Amino acid sequence: MQKTKTYLGVEIKRPRTAFFELSSCEGCQLQILNKEASLLNFLDLLDIVNFREAMSNGSNDYEIAFVEGSVTRADEEERLLKIRRQAKTLVALGSCACFGGVNQLKNRFHDLEWVKKEVYGDHSIETQEVRPLSDFIAVDLSIYGCPIKKEEVEEIVTNLVLGKSIDHPRYPVCMECTANGNICLFNLGEPCLGPITRAGCDAWCPNNRMGCWGCRGPADEANLSQLQEIMDSHGIPRQAMLDRLECFGGFTSAIKKMDE
């Protein structure tokens, strides 16, 4: 395959790219391989040298590293530091990498030993509190979502390869939801975190009549206390909102602030 492509007559290097996973369901990497209609064009932008889910014989000579998953073991921490040393650009891929993701639900329990016993019984394993990549290393770019939205990844990767700036929407999901002409789920009696969650998924869940669970974390302005009042006035139990806020880890610090 060619090492370069051209854009308006300018030579564009296909960056040597590697994909890695820490603790995760590998669903975000699977998303990378989805959307077959444009998959070949997508793969053609990158020179992929390491991708366990899609190829054998990975190489460790890469410029861009996409890291999926959160850190739950000491050896993952070590791997992450090694990846950081090699990669010019390190991308946190998906909500596990960005915020801890569904994994961090276990941090809710104060007694980790009890959790281990409950889940693994007598098969003792090493596991620690779940933490996002940014707790250990500098992250250059975050791609939010559980799972990530392939359309958004395509746009981000195109801009990355062309050296264009990458802007995430700063506004919440409601903006995309209303653009799609949806009827607000609160009118149908369903809770939704859309008003405080960062857009970019094209209101994936509300489009399918499911309230947002906040997988992309908070928008630049996230008025949690007002949303709490709205939930209260709709008779939605506080625990229902908290369950959603805690699910992916994006709102951890926002919840602390609200409690103060």
Partner 1 sequence: MLFKVFPRNELETLYDVLAGHHLVGPQARGKDQADQEIFAFDYIHSFAELRLDFTSTVHSLKRFLLPPREILSSFNLDNSGWEKHIDLGIYKPHVFFGLHPCDINALNKLDKVLTGPVYPDPFYTGKRKNMFIVGVNCSPQPWCFCKSMGTDTVLSGFDMFLTDMGDKYFVEIQSATAYDILMKLPIAQPTEGDHRRFVELMDERNSKFTCQVDNSDLTKILDLEFQSPVWKEWGKKCMSCGTCASVCPTCYCYGVKEYVDLDLTTATKQRQLYSCNLIDFAMVSGGHNFRPDSSSRLKYRYYHKHRGFQEAYEEALCVGCGRCGQACLSGITVPDVIDSVRRQEVPK
> In the complex, which residues of this chain contact partner 1 (CB under 8 A)?
5-9, 12, 38, 41-42, 44-45, 154-155, 158-159, 162, 164, 170-172, 174-175, 178-181, 183-184, 186-189, 194-196, 219-221, 223, 226-227, 230
Site size toward ligand SF4 (CB under 6 A) is 23
Minimum distance of partner 1 from residue 207's CB (angstroms): 13
Q: Using CA atoms, how far apart are residues 103 and 25, in angstroms rounded to an integer?
A: 9
SS3 66: strand
Minimum distance of partner 1 from residue 42's CB (angstroms): 6
Q: Does 206 bind ligand SF4 (CB under 6 A)?
A: yes
Q: Using CA atoms, how far apart are residues 93 and 109, in angstroms rounded to an integer?
A: 26
Minimum distance of ligand SF4 from residue 256's CB (angstroms): 21
Q: Using CA atoms, how far apart are residues 231 and 192, in angstroms rounded to an integer?
A: 9
**Residue 61 or 259 with smaller CB distance to partner 1:** 259
Name the β-bridge partners of 86. Answer: none
Three-state secondary structure of 143-202: ECCCCCCHHHHHHHHHHHHHCCCCCCCCCECHHHHHHCCCCCHHHHCCCCCCCCEECCCC
Minimum distance of partner 1 from residue 157's CB (angstroms): 8
Stretch that binds ligand SF4, among 61-69, 84-92, 160-168, 198-206 (CB under 6 A): 198-206
Q: Are 67 and 97 in contact (CB under 8 A)?
A: yes
Tell me which of 139, 201, 236, 245 binds ligand SF4, using CB under 6 A: 201
Name the β-bridge partners of 91. Answer: 66, 141
Give the residue at shortest CB distance from ligand SF4. Answer: 194
Minimum distance of ligand SF4 from residue 153's CB (angstroms): 13
Tell me which of 71, 92, 205, 241 binds ligand SF4, using CB under 6 A: 205
Q: Using CA atoms, how far apart are residues 241 and 231, in angstroms rounded to an integer?
A: 8
Q: Using CA atoms, how far apart are residues 239 and 138, in angstroms rounded to an integer?
A: 34
State the residues that interact with ligand SF4 by CB under 6 A.
145, 173-174, 177-178, 182, 184-186, 192, 194-195, 197, 201, 203-206, 212-216
